[in-house]
Amino acid sequence: LFPAPSVPFATNSKILWPEFARHIQSMGAVRGVGGVAVNGHQGEMLSLTPQERQKVISAAREHMPAHKWVISGLAASSIAESVQQLRQIKAAGANAALVMPPFDYMPRRILARSWHGPYAYFAELADKVDLPLLIFQYPHASGLWYDTETMLRLAEIDQVIGTKHAIRHLELYAEQWEALRGKIAVLAARDAPGLLSKMMLGADGVCIGISNIATAHWANFTTLCLAHRFNEAREVFVTHLMPLISHVWSERVPRRVSYSASTKEALVQLGVFSSSHVRSPEVNVSPADIEIGRAHV
């Protein structure tokens, strides 16, 4: 399990570094956790300054056991900025970078449908900076996902070692798991009931933001699935994890607040964080959200 940790903000938007350090330490102590994936969507990476992202990496590395990994997200629109971020990620002490698609820009979206653009991008990253890379495989509905031919081409690049696989289309996930297994690590990603199906189809691990909450149960679920003890895994999932998914990470739309805000509020209710504050343009939880959290966390 690789949880994607939240970053606590005070109501004045300052990062609460001691709380973040304790959060990392507590997750690092859980059996079955292989490391953390910081500076991703759950870590509100676009709300952080470059300096804050650097400090998040160094703080995570300092407080995570030495044998467990710190993976940092990389999101940039140009190759120059991507290389610069990758160098900063390496300098801060991360073991690998989780690379988000550089095609989230209207004129480029069509390029995600062919292997040529993604391959050229990852190959140049690998050529410029010696750091392991993981592909963030976005959900199918985003229009920024990579087809199986593209994933196989990317897997040929030596520095590409894995993928956070957030595809929700189970037939496509099954196809890509069979194609990629043994070539690169496939970390299943779905903060929803569909994660159980993905794990039964096959995976090398899990990387999700909701495992900030009740990390030990998520690690136990992952360990049981990897051991093919699916009856026990289902019991853990239904008993301990589905309530969190239903009331904290529900995919029902519209949502008034982001998953970052609702997850932080759950951590407040559990005494992990002292504040669930998020930075604009994200929206803070309301008093009604807080009451719902108290009833279900």
Write down the pTM of the prediction.
0.95
Instruction: Map tokens 């590395």 to a residue.
Output: 61
pLDDT at residue 278, rounded to an integer: 97
Phi/psi of residue 289, each to 5°? -60, -40
3-state helix, strand, coil split of the chain in percent (to 5) is 50, 15, 35
Distance (Å) of CA 28 to CA 33, 181, 193, 215: 6, 27, 25, 10
Whole-angstrom Cα distance, residue 2 to residue 86?
20
> In this structure, are residues 156 and 121 in contact, taking their beta carbons and an 8 Å threshold?
no
**Tens place of pLDDT per residue across the chain (297 aa):** 999 999 999 999 999 999 999 999 999 999 999 999 999 999 999 999 999 999 999 999 999 999 999 999 999 999 999 999 999 999 999 999 999 999 998 999 999 999 999 999 999 999 999 999 999 999 988 999 999 999 999 999 999 999 999 999 999 999 999 999 999 999 999 999 999 999 999 999 999 999 999 999 999 999 999 999 999 999 999 999 999 998 888 877 667 888 999 999 999 999 999 999 999 999 999 877 666 555 556
Torsion angle, alpha carbons of 185, 193, 221, 271, to 10: 110
Number of residues that this document lists for the chain: 297
> In this structure, are residues 53 and 74 in contact, taking their beta carbons and an 8 Å threshold?
no
